[in-house]
Homo-oligomer: A and B are copies of this chain.
Amino acid sequence: MAQPVVTTRILRRLLKSGAHLRAEKVLERIHPADLGPMLSDLTPGEIRIVIDLLFKHRRAATMLRELPPELLPEIIEAISNERMAELLTRLEMDDLLELVDAIPEERREPVTKLLPQSRRDELRHAELYPPRSAGRAMTTNFSALDEKMTSQEAIDSLRASQIDSSEETLYLYVVDELQRLTGIVPIRRLVMAQPNTLVGELAISEMLSTPPDADQEEVAQLVARYDLLAIPVTDVDGTMLGVITVDDVIDVITEEATQDIYNLAGLSEEDRVFTSARVSIKKRLPWMLLNLCTAFTAGAVIGIFEGTIEQMVGLAIFLPVVAGVGGNGGIQTLTVITRAIALGEIEFSSGLRAVGKEMWVGLVVGMTAGLISGGMAFLLHGNIYMGVVLLLAMMVTMVTASLFGAAVPLILKAMGLDPALGSGILVTFAADALGFFSFLGFATLLLDRLV
């Protein structure tokens, strides 16, 4: 295994001193997946040299495929249109699509024009599938067999094709004369079969497949659930279109998990740890503005009760207690529900049951928090009504925050939207506004007994 930190240091020194031949040697021994993180430490000029060297060894395409998305813009800038087209030609369709998306719009047309006609047609066709769909994530590079072949003939055809040896062949796909998928032969079965067995006899005919417009997250759930290594993509009449392999599924699962975590915090996916500060700021400002609106609204709720606070300033101490506990409870519920949605553990019908459970949990936790903080308020102020106000406010806030935390993602999901998107800010806002309103409201009602 390469030691990335040490290797980066060596590589930089070689590039600086112009020892390109030796740099070439070092690069040769680095796995494409390790190159990405290393490039982020180099200057644009150094990156250009590295790409030249990789290009010489026909390794630049593989490297591009493995790059973390946030590094792409910088690297793409260092590659000319002609070279870019040549690299794209060497990639499989799913990787090609991703790269084309990363090319700045004004360069996209000139670059794709340089692709061979057949490749351009394939690309146009693939771009018709919706974003994040199975059709875009599949590779069209798979081994199809005729059901009337013998296993020896199948092995011979495999030997002859030698498709892309970098991708493991795990399953062979049996198709009829109309290219419709009729069965799957795990390669293990082919190894063990007698040479004259018909491929049709070896095939498993009960298998899962997915349409090309299926959401990639759902496909990933299928693969994960049934422990598959690959899933075929077929169109309505069963024609074999491509295959989604488990390594792509892992990428989808990781990506979607990032997206879920990010959405809860109101972050854009492009806002990664080493994204430039400029981009991060640009992405976070709109959320900050939204947050400012909700915070001012919550503040306005306090404003309604200015008269009450004027009569009893001590109330202000409890404002963050009610809002904080309520907000935390709401976020917990929100997290449980959005995670369950992401893992396909919940549907709208069972969702209602989940909402009920969460509200019940919120009530009990809120009551406990209310009793404790109410007790403390009683001890601090020596006034039992202060405790009652806190208890009531805490219960109302927690139950409502739980309702929001559970219902908001389910409703967003039912509307076909992302269940986590912006729900964190909404739930926190609900807890704040309702916490302030109920606490100061009850306090206003009982003000005579408080002061």
Interface residues of A, Cβ cutoff 8 Å to B: 1, 5, 31, 33, 37, 68, 155, 158-159, 168-170, 186-188, 190-192, 208, 223-227, 229, 246-247, 249-251, 253-254, 257-258, 260-262, 264-267, 271-274, 277, 280-281, 284-285, 287-289, 291-292, 294-296, 298-300, 302-303, 306, 309-310, 313-314, 316-321, 323-325, 328-329, 331-332, 334-337, 339-340, 343, 345-347, 349-350, 353-354, 357, 360-361, 364-365, 368-369, 372-373, 376, 424-425, 428, 432, 436
Apart from A292-B373, A298-B324, list 14 A-B contacts with CB within 8 A.
A5-B349, A224-B251, A246-B250, A261-B339, A265-B331, A267-B335, A272-B336, A280-B357, A280-B361, A295-B324, A303-B317, A306-B314, A306-B317, A313-B313
Instruction: Report chain B residues within 8 Å CB of A229.
Output: 168, 170, 229, 246-247
Partner of A337, one of B247, B273, B280, B368: B273
Nearest-neighbour CB distance to chain B for A161, whole angstroms, equals 10
CB pair B158–A192 under 8 Å, yes or no, is: yes
Judging by beta carbons under 8 Å apart, are B313 and A68 in contact? no
Tell me whether A316 and B298 are in contact in the complex, defined as CB-CB below 8 angstroms, given that A229-B229, A281-B361, A339-B262 are known contacts: no
- Residue from B170, B298, B310, B332 in contact with A313 in the complex, judged by beta carbons closer than 8 Å: B310
CB contacts (< 8 Å) of A250 on chain B: these are 223-224, 246, 249-250, 253
The CA of A310 and the CA of B311, in the complex, are separated in Å by 9
The residue of chain B having its C-beta at the shortest distance from the C-beta of A360 within the complex is B277
Task: Report chain B residues within 8 Å CB of A264.
Answer: 261, 264, 335
Q: Counting chain B CB atoms within 10 Å of each CB, which of A168, A262, A334 scores highest?
A: A168
Q: Determine the chain B residues whose CB is within 8 A of the CB of A192 once the complex forms.
A: 155, 158-159
CB pair B227–A357 under 8 Å, yes or no, is no
> How many monomers of this protein are in the complex?
2
Using known A-B contacts A313-B310, A336-B271, determine if residue A254 contacts B224 with beta carbons closer than 8 Å.
Answer: yes
Distance between A230 CB and nearest chain B CB, rounded to angstroms = 10
Whether the Cβ atoms of A169 and B155 lie closer than 8 Å is no
Contacts of A292 in B (CB 8 A): 321, 325, 369, 372-373
Shortest distance between the CB of A294 and any CB in chain B (Å): 7
Chain B hits for A265, CB < 8 A: 328, 331-332, 334-335
Least Cβ–Cβ distance between A284 and chain B, in angstroms: 5
Bound together, the chains give a CA A271 to CA B169 distance in angstroms of: 40
**Closest B residue to A193 using CB positions:** B159
| A291 cross-chain contacts in B, Cβ below 8 A | 324-325, 328
Query: Which single member of B186, B225, B299, B335 contacts A168 (CB below 8 Å)?
Result: B186
* Known contacts A250-B246, A320-B302, A335-B262: A188-B208 contact under CB 8 Å: no
| Candidates B155, B302, B361; contact of A317 at CB < 8 Å | B302
B273 lies within 8 A of A336 (CB): yes
Contact between chains at B332 and A284 (CB < 8 Å): yes
Q: Is the CB of A37 within 8 A of B319?
A: no
Q: Which residue of B lies closest to A366 (CB)?
A: B288
One of B188, B225, B329, B334 near A288 (C-beta < 8 A): B329
User: Inside 8 A of A300's CB, which chain B residues have their CB?
Assistant: 317
Name the 7 nearest CB pairs between A and B, nearest first. Answer: A257-B257, A273-B340, A295-B324, A227-B247, A265-B335, A299-B317, A295-B321
- B324 and A316 within 8 A (CB): no
* Docked complex Cα distance between A368 and B266 (Å): 17
Q: A226-B31, A272-B340 are in contact. Are A208 and B1 (CB under 8 A)?
A: yes
The reply to whether B261 and A357 form a contact with Cβ atoms under 8 Å apart is: no
Residues in B neighbouring A353, C-beta threshold 8 A: 274
Query: Is B346 a contact partner of A320 (Cβ separation < 8 A)?
Result: no
